Amino acid sequence: MARTSLRTEDVDRAMEAIKEAFYSNRLDVLSRPERFGAAFEVLELGGITVGDLRCGADVRVRCGELGSYHVNIPVGAALSWHQASGPGQLTPPGAAALFQPVGTTSVDQWTGDGRIIALKIERSLLEGRVEELTGRSLRGPLVLEPALDLTRGRGRAWAQLVGTLVDGLGEDVHLLQHPLVAAPLRDAVVNGLLLSADHHYRDLLDRPAGGLRPTPVKRAMDAMRERPEHPFTTAELAGQARVGVRWLQEAFARYVGMPPMAYLRSIRLERAHADLLDADPRSASVSDIAHRWGFGHLGRFAEQYRAKYGQVPSHTLRTVDGDAAWSPQLP
């Protein structure tokens, strides 16, 4: 993770700073050169780079192919730009300009009265996230529509999320630099953009969250559901999913909301609960059912069962449709 703070009246130094944080560029002052004064605050957050950029004077910034997806949010004044041979675009405050990774790029006029909130997203990160969530391989770049309305709906919510990053740029960002905060925040920004911008995969991404789990996660989940009684380890599940142990653990936390072993325990409890409801208390025992589903320690099973279902297993076994199970009448 890298953080950059720059104040300079030197155009070449400003160009170098943009190159280091974003892309190779040619920066030209169009008017009021005496007012030029770059003020850049930039934070790199594991695959995304966010910057709060000001130049003071009217400038033009020309780049080659970016190689990454990029978002410019103008604040205070409209932004004029184009990519490749496409038409010129004018993005006003309250909207975002979305740049593709391919095609030469030019910010034709960035007025000195305005600032830009710039967001660079590595191509592999954004396109890889689409593949993870949809289970489909992309056959070319993900094509984002060039404009995103930030005044309503998802666009507004996403802009507020980006604002959380921007607000911390000029302050102590040690908390943002912590992996427990940085990774989820980065993922929220990336996922939020995919859910806010228009592109061909939006309909797939709008499906219920359960359908958006990456294929390796689904493989591991299917293995556990097919044989919940098997003494799985995280390493064995990672092998079946064909990923590393750490990747599987992080993916389960992100897409399932719990570690793999907790998910396995939940399945086992579901199966045990169903058997306890169906069993005849005259011939079945709690210990037999617990062992059948992989619970080796009866006391821990009882604690976990009670935490999930609000009663001890023996009570479920004795209860049928809410009434006490049949028992012989004493004389």
Instruction: Give domain limits for the chain.
Output: 3-203, 213-331
Task: Indicate whether this model's pTM tops 0.95.
Answer: no
List the structure tokens of 15: 């160009």
List the structure tokens of 87: 């038409």
Q: Which of residues 175 and 118 earns the better pLDDT score? A: 118
C-alpha angle 81/29/150, rounded to 5°?
Answer: 35
DSSP type of residue 253: H
Which residues touch 331 (CB under 8 Å, ≥6 apart)? none
Mean predicted lDDT score pLDDT of the chain: 87
pLDDT tens per residue, range 55-112: 999 999 999 999 999 999 999 999 999 999 889 999 999 999 999 999 999 999 999 9
Which residues touch 199 (CB under 8 Å, ≥6 apart)? 142, 143, 144, 145
In this structure, what is the dihedral angle of CA atoms 128, 130, 134, 139, given to the nearest 10 degrees? -80
- Which helix H or strand E contains 295, and what residues bound it? none
Phi, psi at 166, each rounded to 5°: -65, -40
Q: Which of residues 300 and 46 earns the better pLDDT score? A: 300
The helix/strand/coil state of 198 is: coil
Closest-CA residue to 169 (of 119, 94, 110, 114):
119
Closest-CA residue to 59 (of 82, 91, 35):
35
Which homologous superfamily is 3-203 in? Jelly Rolls (2.60.120.10)
Question: Which of the four pLDDT bands, split at 50, 70 and 90, describes residue 171?
Answer: low
- Considering the chain, what percentage of its residues have pLDDT values greater than 70? 90
Note the CATH architecture for domain 213-331: Orthogonal Bundle (1.10)
Residue 320, pLDDT > 70, answer no
Question: Which of the four pLDDT bands, split at 50, 70 and 90, describes residue 211?
Answer: low
Q: What is the pLDDT of residue 209?
A: 52
